[in-house]
Amino acid sequence: MLVVLAIIWAVFYSQSPAYLSFQNLTNLTLQIVTTAILALGVVFVLLVGEIDLSSAVLSGVCAAVAAGLTVNSGLPLPVGIAAAVAAGMAVMFVQAQAVMFGVPSLIVTLGGMVILQGLILVVLPPEFTISVAGTPFATIASAAIPAGTSYALAAVATLAFVAYRLFQYRERLSTGSLASLTTIIVPSALVAAVLFGGVFTLTRQRGLPMPVLIVAVMLLIAWYVTTQTRYGIHLYAVGGDREAAQRAGIPVRRMVLYSFLVLGACAAVAGMVDASRQLGVSVTSGSGPLMLNAIAAAVVGGTSLFGGRGSIWSALLGALVIGSISNGVQLLGLSTEVQYFATGSVLIIAVAVDVVLTRGALLPGRR
């Protein structure tokens, strides 16, 4: 997908040099924030071998809850944010119970999506819209971190990564395994280049946009949880072979529940960030292609539809691929169908590759 992303950028840049300008790259980053956050939650559900179709609409419901409490009721912004996250997790808790009971997650979340489309009408006021312009809620997306602070954060993140790789290097030496300083220098240089390059690009206007920091923090937390904790090991084990995980004593039902709860929290955050960017919440919040784009981003980024394989970073990579196509089509003034054709083709190719890797379709004697 990195190669695909490079090709997409090269094609659109050849048509319009403005595609890779600082301003357009900043716009692209802000455009994919909502999709990336929601795709992050979808990755957790896909990793345990389930799927969700309701989280996009849920994001609109959660945004309506937060906006209603902070704008209409005058409560502090943290209270509204906490209530929205709690609402998202509560809805997913109920759906997870049905999934654990044995109802296919596809059916449960499809029904949940329809119910949530009615629920948002109940949550919204009679005029079916809440404007957040000029309120603290709008600062979620409009706030920016000064360039100096952004570079300091990039430096801290780079040093933390170097310390992490150094710790791994010493662990390998202590166990007698072969280890080279190259495993520290090369990845650290790449991380530093990405972080400082990203900060340099995104702070050319007002500073580092707050939604970008939100996505970065969520990705780092998710990466740590899925790769450095027992929960992460169990997550992949359940998705890889649920029966074997059950025999090994892994709480399968609990892992499925946790994955849906994470998705509920991500949906709430995605909804609030999107409402803050759009300066309002309405009956259309969370509708449109958001759900399709979130699932496509997770799959295109490398997360398997069959569970047990994928990475948290696939949410970001897939969102970049999907968003790059959409951004390029809009920049060049092409018709909407071109965007749909390209996005659908990339998704089909990604799923086909996933099927081949999962089922060994290219091995002799196998189909």
- List the one residue out of 274, 233, 361 whose CA is nearest residue 33: 274
According to the model, what pLDDT value does residue 235 have? Answer: 92
- DSSP annotation string for 178-246: ---THHHHHHHHHHHHHHHHHHHHHTSSSSEEHHHHHHHHHHHHHHHHHHHSHHHHHHHHHHH-HHHHH
Domain boundaries, given as residue ranges, for the chain:
2-140+231-335
According to the model, what pLDDT value does residue 174 have? Answer: 77
According to the model, what pLDDT value does residue 259 have? Answer: 95
According to the model, what pLDDT value does residue 36 have? Answer: 94
**Pairing state of beta strands 280-282 and 129-131?**
antiparallel
According to the model, what pLDDT value does residue 362 have? Answer: 41
User: Does residue 268 contact residue 88 with C-beta atoms inside 8 Å?
Assistant: yes
**Positions of the chain with pLDDT lower than 50, given as ranges:** 361-367
According to the model, what pLDDT value does residue 360 have? Answer: 56
CA distance 197 to 185: 18
> What is the model's pTM?
0.90
Q: 127-156: per-residue pLDDT in tens? A: 889 998 888 999 998 889 999 999 999 999
Q: In whole angstroms, how far apart are CA 300 and each of 239, 294, 345?
A: 18, 10, 11
Q: What percent of the chain has pLDDT over 70?
A: 96
Q: 290-324: per-residue pLDDT in tens? A: 898 899 899 888 888 888 888 898 889 989 988 99
